[in-house]
Amino acid sequence: MTALRLCPLVVFLMLAACGDSGNSDPSASTNLQSAPTPPQPMSVAPTTLTGTVSGDPVTLELSETPNTGTATFAGQVAETGDISLSVLEGNTPVVSQTVTGYYLTDPYTPLGLSLTVNGVSEQVRFSSINLPPATLTVGSSGPLTSGVYYAADGVTVIGSIMETYSVTANDPTSVKYSVTATGTVNGTPTSETDVYTVSASGSVALIEVDLLLNGQTVQFTAGS
């Protein structure tokens, strides 16, 4: 398998405002229709999902740790959070990506990212930010964030990316919150959709990642 590229924005940009928790009856026959948007910065426990590429099994490993310190980004002192995302074929890494996200607090405002993809350093600076509503309602969707990719020098533009969200029904106790990032880097299309369940109490779990890898969309799930 040749080198692959992942979108770094989706996990970092679960942009959110704190909402009021709702109530649901787990025994109800209807699906939950709304849930509070998770507060930021969001923490994602180490998660392993599996999929197949051309019949070969592949594994995706992801984790996100917020509030790891402070640093200066784009002339502003910002809080930082770390993201680790990799794809393995057997025990061999075919994608290795580490990301540091920079954001302001009160209110939560993401500024950008510094990332290393298979040893190549890049930056993303956000040019447009939209927060989803405080409550995730089934059937809702909209834009989130757009940004520009730069080479390691922070000057040379190498691509762009934009992000949207949608909310769909899942089960009586949770809704599905999908965040999709699409764009191009050095002329190569990128696409990633992360699918989370969000409960009526606001708890979050990553259940699916759909990645465009070498022109093929690969679905990673817990049950692949």
Looking at residue 191, its pLDDT comes to 93
Q: What is the mean pLDDT of the chain?
A: 85
106 token code pair: 């009160």
Structural domain includes residue 25? no
Reduce the DSSP state of residue 204 to 3 states and report it. strand
Structural domain includes residue 212? yes
Q: Residue 10 and residue 32: Cα distance in Å, rounded?
A: 24
Q: Residue 92 and residue 94: Cα distance in Å, rounded?
A: 6
Residue bearing the bigger pLDDT, 222 or 41:
222
Residue bearing the bigger pLDDT, 56 or 2:
56
Residue with the two structure tokens 């965040």: 179
Looking at residue 29, its pLDDT comes to 55
224 token code pair: 């692949």
Looking at residue 67, its pLDDT comes to 82
Q: Which domain holds residue 137?
A: 9-17+30-221
Q: Is the pLDDT of residue 10 over 60?
A: no
Identify whether the C-beta of residue 18 lies closer than 8 Å to the C-beta of residue 196: no
Structural domain includes residue 37? yes
Looking at residue 25, its pLDDT comes to 42
- How many CA within 13 A on the CB side of residue 145? 24
- CA torsion sign, 66 to 207 to 14 to 115? positive
What confidence tens digit (pLDDT) does each residue in 130-142 have?
Answer: 888 899 999 999 9
How many domains does the structure of the chain reveal?
1
Which one, of 58, 47, 108, lies nearest residue 213 by Cα? 58
What confidence tens digit (pLDDT) does each residue in 100-117 have?
Answer: 999 998 888 899 999 998
Structural domain includes residue 4? no
Structural domain includes residue 214? yes
Average pLDDT over residues 75-82: 93
